Amino acid sequence: MSQLFQHLINGIATGTIYALVALGYTMVYGVLKLINFAHGDVMMVGVYMGYATALMLGRQAQSSPWGVLLIFLVAMGGCALMGFLIERFAYRPLREKPRLTALITAIGISFTLSYGFQLDIGFLPGSAPRAFPQIIKPVQWFTLGDPEFPDVVLWNWQVLSLLVAVVLMMGLQYLVYRTRFGRAMRAVSFDHRVAALMGIPTDRVISLTFMIGSALAAGAGLLYAIKDTSVSPLMGLYVGLKAFVAAVIGGIGNVPGAVVGALLLGLVEEFVVGYAASTWRDAVAFGFLILVLLVRPGGLFGRVAAEKV
Amino acid sequence: MDSSPPEGDVMSGPLLEAVGVSIQFGGLKALSDFNLSIHKGDLQGLIGPNGAGKTTAFNVLTGVYQPTQGEVRVSGQRVNGWLPHQINHLGLARTFQNIRLFRALTALDNVKVACRGQGALHPEGVGLGAKVRGAVRNYQDWWRALLLTPGFQAEERELTQQAEHLLEVMGLTHRRNEEARNLPYGEQRRLEIARALGTRPKVLLLDEPAAGMNTREKADLMVLIRKIRDDFNLGILVIEHDMKLVMGICEKITVLDHGETIARGEPAEVRNDRKVIEAYLGDSYLESQGGAA
Amino acid sequence: MSEAQVKVLGERREFPPLLTVDGVKVSYGAIQALKGVTLKVGKGEVVALIGANGAGKTSTLRAVSGMLKPVGGRITLSGEDTTGAKAHTLVPRGMAHAPEGRGIFPNLTVLENLELGAYLRDDADGIAADMEKSYGLFPKLRERRKQLAGTLSGGEQQMLAIARALLSRPKLLLLDEPSLGLAPQVTETIFRNLRDVNAAGVSILLVEQNAHLALNFAHYGYVLETGEVVMAGPGKALLESPEIRKAYLGE
Amino acid sequence: EKKSQPAPSGDKAQGGQAAQPATAGGAPAETNTLLLGVVTSLSGTQATFGSSTRNGIDLALKEANAAGGVKGKKLEMRVYDNQGKPEEAAQATTRLITQDKALLILGDVASSNSLAMADKAQAAGVPMITHSSTNPSVTEKGDYIFRVCFIDPFQGFVMAKFARENLKIGQVAILQDNKSAYSIGLTEVFTRAFTEMGGKIPATESYSQGDTDFRAQLTTIKKTKPQAIYVPGYYNDVGLIARQARELGLTTPMLGGDGWDSEKLFELAGDALDGSYFSNHYSPGNSDPKVQKFIADYKAAYGGEPDAFAALSYDAAKVAIAALEKAKDVSGPSIRDAIAQTKDFPGVAGTITLDEKRNAVKSAAILKVAKGKTEFVTTVNP
Amino acid sequence: MQTVAAVSSGSGSSSGVPAPLRGILPVLVALPVLLALEWLLSDSPFAIYLLSIMGVNVILAVSLNIVNGMTGQFSIGHAGFMAVGAYIAGVTSLALKDVALSFLPVGVSDQVFLFVALLVGGSASALAGFLVGLPSLRLRGDYLAIVTLGFGEIIRVVVTNTEAFGRALGLSGIPQTSSMAMVGFWVFLVVLTARRIAGSSHGRSLWAIREDEVAAEAMGVNTTGYKVRAFVISSFFAGVAGGLFAHFVPIINPGSFTFVKSMEIVVMVVLGGLGSTTGAIVAAVFLTLLPEGLRSAFTTFGSGSNLAQQVDQIRMPVYGMLLVVLMLARPQGLFGTKEFWEVVPRWIPRRRKGM
Ligand SMILES: Nc1ncnc2c1ncn2[C@@H]1O[C@H](COP(=O)(O)OP(=O)(O)OP(=O)(O)O)[C@@H](O)[C@H]1O
Ligand SMILES: Nc1ncnc2c1ncn2[C@@H]1O[C@H](COP(=O)(O)OP(=O)(O)OP(=O)(O)O)[C@@H](O)[C@H]1O
Ligand SMILES: [Mg+2]
Ligand SMILES: [Mg+2]
């Protein structure tokens, strides 16, 4: 019983991370209809930026509120800039071209980043994973059983990241469906040429979306690093993939869908590992995905665009 | 259905028949109790204000949408629940109101996609036996293609000629190897007709074929449509907002409004039908006609 | 490519200059769509552009509204050179374009589509008023306010496209075959209302297959053939001319 | 006959023949350097082992060259990355042998890569020494394949023995890396040995290399209240496992194998591993001057403590060099024979004697983790 | 799609060869060439290995192109099919290891068994393709993509947990009977198949589906049927490619069939130009040689120095950047949707199109 609780907590914690990454994925997809395979790797770079900042700040400063804030700002700002550059130079030139071409450049960038960061030349960190400093002092906010050897533990950062995820979700939802910018985004996502005829500065809208998405990735990455206490060049590949799956389960392009999908995925994985064989985790995760899609081809919340013949 | 459909001329019955067809989109009844029957050689019109349900009617007849009530028969065969391509194999072809060509393919290939050699026409029908037989035939086809059997090559040649002929009929020979997306609007419409004819239909449904054509081109089109009807002797149903064209070529006209059939008959009757004038033509139409005629 | 000599009929009524298109060339890859088109639209003037299929009417509008970059020539809007300017920079300067193929946003509702028409405006009540106007103009749109635009009927989509263009309160309105797929009655209403719009000082550059309708409506007309202006003159004058009657009115 | 390559288990005769064109093809005669080929993973999840490997070999060669090289020729190495994939390993090996005319192949850590390499080396009749592939099947590939470390069965047995006899515990849960044959192998042996000695394995959970969240498995393990957890994985996972175990309130000591050995382990695990034990090829704490010298030189050259992979690759290179020295010529067969004769070779990771199965007969060290350092506890002999 | 126009007009064109023969003519021409190649290369293992890898990649790219390029479906799980073929064929060969056709010389009998194994592997993979193809009846675009990807991952997990497949360590001891002739033969076969599909009404139907499914249906194209068939054919060849792979790579393990591998195949297809068979070939060859090329290039800067040793790591980032650059330089892919001889004009005899 208590074990069930612990699994629930773990599952939601994992799902939260997926959710945060998935939000960025879904946003970029929403406006460009591009599966941005580099998203996970952008996240990874963001985490290293935060890591570097933390080291510079040193033990004391890094865990002070201002330190933490600075770390997040640097990482998210850096990633926003990176996202801007990637979009500007790798994606924009291909906007009029078949979507697959942009996908390839995305893959190219993903390779460049994930393999590039494995080098131990110059500032590059090398392939060895690093311990990520505990910038948020882990505190047990709730325990069950005797405090020495508790049965269930709930950590402050678990609650924290869940809150962040939910707030961000609502924020994005508002941005996309309630604001003029959001309307512009959706217009651009369908046809940027006609959108321009409405006076929408398509390039700026797309750049901005990318920057927001990348910043989100960085933030998510940091929470991820805090959760699993490490940072490595390959961390993006795996989380990126899972986040994408989560986004699709929820109906890619749909903001709340991304979060729900992610939490579901997190729980499914946790329970497979906890109660069945962990070796089947990924199989079950993808099986779950396929099942969802067979029942609802547009994902849980996505609607397959009504096409008038 | 297993046995290939009985030939149109053998049976006197209608090639295309809709009986009490209705369809609903959420709350909206886009088409209600729609009846229609088209025989070989017919040239009928379907008109009505925007949003009346004309295109929807086409979609129901061709199997794009499933009717919520009623029954559709193509050359005597009930086709409710059939897939569009199966219905097409029974001899029903259409064009689209907002053009849907295979944009990156050449004009010739657009038509060739639709073309089928006489022999190769095999409606798969529903029911397991038919499916299996269809599948087997298909795989035979693949092998013939892979082994480049003489029969296959002959068929390819035949298809090409067939397609070229259709382009010629539609006056598109000069665009033979141009990508469909680069053709101007009017020619795209004609190409759609050529493509539809490629499937050797018994009934042809045209959705606003004259849209985007100037008066002169419309005049030519009228001649063309009649010519098609006679040369390929098939039944034709036209949706069109250009009264000159509709009244000019159609022997019988059905008028829809809000999904309801509000009138049906000879052009002359329809033209002077009070309800039709109110709902669709508008009074000024009478004068303009009076003026023109 | 040298300008083909344009056959000009009759006298042009004077309007203060708004749009000038001077020897504009456009090509799609190898295909040269416009071989040097020259035309003018004055403030408050209605100009019709007619021509056979593939003559280059749509391409001309696209070039004017910045949807595509001309490879040659010059375009000015109220004095400023706007050749090759990005489309979204022209909207604030009073340009509105209802493009060929309607270009509505199928996954947005009718309402959202209209709101996008007023993207650059922030006079809430002004917008509301104009919405009401367009609903008055096309009652069907009010019925379908919440429906996804993609599921509208062809004609309804056409109405939406025109209404959306009007919502930006343009100085110059580009219409590409507005009557396409519209019931005759609706066509009349639209043109009647366009008359009012124009009376309110909006200039209109109109591409229309129905030459009779267009030339009756327009102050001035140009005839396009294979990417060049071959004929120009007041609408009525053109309607009179035997060539036009033969080529476009099929008489 | 030419068409089909000799089967992997290929009989020596064939291997020998094939070798003639490949190596004794006079290539070395032209150059005045002797080329050693190295294949290891420089990218992918195991890249760190790759760089340790490379450094270890590099160090050995530098020393040898400083000492005037071998047979009057300078030694040279060429390192190729196999991205942790067998097909890449095979490709790189083939290239080293046929294009670059390497006399001898060194590598790799992951057994599946070594197996791929061994197959090609054996077929071409070029000797190969793996420094730390502990899977038995590697050297079974043929008579050209050698190994300078102990094998999984031994290591698994060692830890089981230690846990049962020295630590006197009876309940050990296992958390294995399902993606690494090494981990699976150790698990099997440990389980067998430990239960034979009367111990119990209440739970065997597994994870996949590169995972970063092990809470689910640990939660399940925790329920079984074990006295220790055996984690035969690689340090980069173990570090996180340790942390998360403590975080979930699992305070029992952990047991592991040579995969743990890396200074990074302590950076990752912090103090979470204090009181844990793992079996290893050598102990940095070992006072033997030759070991201390190695450590000093290594630090000087590459910075940072040498881990077991560095030490073993260093030894492997040393063995290879000694063999080249001894061999009457540099043809595949003679080098092979020279290596085969290796006896009581003083390596930094223990004395190496190759048995008839071409495996090193070595003792294992048990190390204890305390305050982010390792303490030598005892050696267990075969 | 000039291709098709050209083909259909070309296929009729008169060539010296009698019509009944033309179907199999290319085969008759190719076989001796392959055997010659086999003989020439027989004592340069590296060349053989490289060519084999290249061949496998070509088969993968060309077969994937049938789904992604021609049919416009978006599959990114090709490595999964490859895995199915590799393991099934591998297991088959292991089972047949000790049997031999005594009446044939060893080499030949090996090839016979290899061929059998490949067919088995290919068929298994085709079956998988059928199963994965079924969802494509309901799913579109990226949703289908993720399903194929998921399938590939599931396959890997299954393998990792199956004792018979050697689990994580991998399956070793498969007789290394692959030969240049066999690889070449299948490369040739897949290309021939792709080209002939392209030249037939089937090819046109696939293209029609890519362009507009609704219209295709309305024109009598059984879209669902064709999509599934495209998947089946494509995955069959992917399986064969895997089978070949398993017969010259000493040990196959799940790590060789990750979704990164699938991505590499997609890259080949897109880089070559969606729908262009020859493009896929060129891209596959190029991308296979690229890493080895970089290797040679790098090893030429003096070895010994620390950088020279690290150099092999630099290949992958460089590869990634090259992808970006290439795509930007040629967004439509090497040949667009056209074929080699339509882009590189004249000097290729026009008849070749019929092939
Ligand atoms: N898929 C759909 N979902 C919801 N409503 C639809 C759908 N398809 C059509 N409708 C509605 O049904 C009505 C009939 O549409 P239809 O396209 O048949 O009109 P139409 O007669 O073709 O008009 P037009 O002459 O303008 O083409 C329209 O009001 C349209 O909004
Ligand atoms: N996207 C395009 N790509 C290539 N060629 C094009 C494209 N659009 C138009 N064309 C070509 O440019 C020429 C002019 O086309 P345009 O659409 O401007 O003519 P139009 O007068 O609008 O014709 P319509 O009356 O049919 O709309 C035509 O020959 C057409 O084939
Ligand atoms: Mg309609
Ligand atoms: Mg036009």
Chain E's closest residue to B121, CA to CA, is E220
C41 bridge partner residues? C19
Residue of C153, C158, C187 with the most ligand 1 atoms within 8 Å of its CB, for mutation: C153
Q: In the predicted model, is pLDDT for residue B293 greater than 60?
A: no
C193 to B279, C128, D267: CA distances (angstroms): 20, 18, 77
Straight-line distance from the first to the last Cα atom of chain A, in angstroms, rounded to the nearest whole number: 54
Residue B289's pLDDT is 54
Structure tokens at D20: 């003639």
pTM confidence score: 0.90
Q: In the predicted model, is pLDDT for residue B125 greater than 60?
A: no
8 A C-beta contact, residue C73 and residue C25: yes
- Lowest pLDDT segment from A260-269, B77-86, B117-126, C215-224: B117-126
Q: For E281-308, write each residue's pLDDT tens digit.
A: 999 999 999 888 877 776 666 554 455 4
Percent of chain D with pLDDT over 90: 58
Return the H-helix or E-strand segment holding A262. helix A255-275
Q: At what angle do helices A99-116 and E306-329 cross, to 10 degrees?
A: 170
Residue C237: phi, psi to the nearest 5?
-55, -45
pLDDT mean over D150-158: 90
Distance of residue B81 Cα from the nearest chain E Cα, in angstroms: 14
Output the CA angle C173-C176-C177, nearest 5 degrees.
125
Q: Which ipTM was obtained for this model?
A: 0.89
pLDDT mean over C34-58: 92
Residue of B177, B182, B217 with the most ligand 2 atoms within 8 Å of its CB, for mutation: B182
Residues of A in contact with D177 (CB under 8 A): none
One pLDDT digit (tens) per residue for chain E, 355 residues: 333 333 333 333 444 566 666 667 777 777 778 788 777 777 788 999 999 999 999 999 999 999 999 999 889 899 999 999 999 999 999 999 888 788 888 888 889 999 999 999 999 999 999 998 887 677 877 888 888 999 999 999 999 888 899 888 889 989 999 998 899 999 999 999 998 898 888 899 999 999 999 999 999 998 988 999 999 999 999 999 999 999 999 999 998 998 889 989 999 998 888 888 999 999 999 999 988 887 777 666 655 445 545 667 787 888 899 889 988 998 888 777 777 777 665 444 444 443 4
Pick the closest to residue E208 from B111, D91, D209, C192 (CA basis): B111
Q: What secondary structure does DSSP assign to C132-156, as a single string?
A: HHHHHH-HHHHHTTTSBGGGS-HHH
In three-state form (DSSP H/G/I as H, E/B as E, the rest C), the secondary structure along chain E is CHHHHHHHHHHHCCCCCCHHHHCCHHHHHHHHHHHHHHHHHCCCHHHHHHHHHHHHHHHHHHHHHHHHHHCCCCCCCHHHHHHHHHHHHHHHHHHHCCCCCCCCCHHHHHHHHHHHHHHHHHHHHHHHHHHHHHHHHCCCHHHHHHHHHHHHHHHHHHHHCCHHHCCCCCEECCCCCCCHHHHHHHHHHHHHHHHHHHCCHHHHHHHHHHHCHHHHHHCCCCHHHHHHHHHHHHHHHHHHHHHHHHCCCCEECHHHHCHHHHHHHHHHHHHHCCCCHHHHHHHHHHHHHHHHHHHHHHHHCCCCCHHHHHHHHHHHHHHHHHHHHHHHHCCCCCCCCCCHHHHCCCCCCHHHHHC
The letter for the amino acid at B83 is: L
Q: In the predicted model, is pLDDT for residue D20 greater than 90?
A: no
> Which residue's CA is minimally distant from atom 28 of ligand 2?
C54
Integer Cα distance of B144 and A101 in angstroms? 35
- Lowest pLDDT segment from A142-151, C33-42, C193-202, D24-33: D24-33
8 A C-beta contact, residue D365 and residue D282: yes
CA atoms within 13 A on the CB side of E234: 35
- Lowest pLDDT segment from A197-201, B147-151, E89-93, E253-257: B147-151
Residue A194's pLDDT is 92
Pick the closest to residue B195 from B288, B94, B263, B282 (CA basis): B94
- C56 ligand 2 Cβ < 6 A: yes
Residue C221's pLDDT is 95
Percent of chain C with pLDDT over 70: 98
Structure tokens at B133: 């037989």
> Which residue's CA is minimally distant from atom 17 of ligand 1?
C153
Output the CA angle B75-B76-B79, nearest 5 degrees.
90
Pick the closest to residue E35 from E183, E223, E248 (CA basis): E183
**Chains sharing 3 or more CB pairs under 8 A with chain A:** B, C, D, E
Q: Does E310 touch chain A if contact means CB atoms closer than 8 Å?
A: yes
- B99 ligand 2 Cβ < 6 A: no
Structure tokens at D305: 């403590």
Pick the closest to residue A102 from A44, A43, A42, A33 (CA basis): A33
Residue C51: phi, psi to the nearest 5?
170, 160
Q: Which of D48, D205, D248 sits opposite A128 (nearest CB)?
A: D48
Q: In the predicted model, is pLDDT for residue B229 greater than 80?
A: yes
Tell me the CA–centroid distance for residue C160 and ligand 1, in Å: 14
Structure tokens at A63: 């865990």
Integer Cα distance of E306 and E304 in angstroms? 6
8 A C-beta contact, residue E165 and residue E95: no
- C30 ligand 2 Cβ < 6 A: no
Q: Does A151 touch chain C if contact means CB atoms closer than 8 Å?
A: no
Q: What secondary structure does DSSP assign to B128-176, as a single string?
A: HHHHHHHHHHHHHHHHHHHHT-HHHHHHHHHHHHHHHHHHHHTT-GGGT
8 Å CB contact of B85 and E20? no
> Which residue's CA is minimally distant from atom 9 of ligand 2?
B182
The letter for the amino acid at C226 is: T
Distance of residue A202 Cα from the nearest chain C Cα, in angstroms: 8
- C28 ligand 2 Cβ < 6 A: yes
Integer Cα distance of D90 and D97 in angstroms? 11
Q: Does D304 touch chain A if contact means CB atoms closer than 8 Å?
A: no
Output the CA angle B67-B73-B77, nearest 5 degrees.
125
- C33 ligand 2 Cβ < 6 A: yes
Neighbours of B44 (CB within 10 A): 21
Ligand number with the minimum distance to the CA of C227: 2
8 Å CB contact of D2 and E315? no
Residue D22's pLDDT is 39
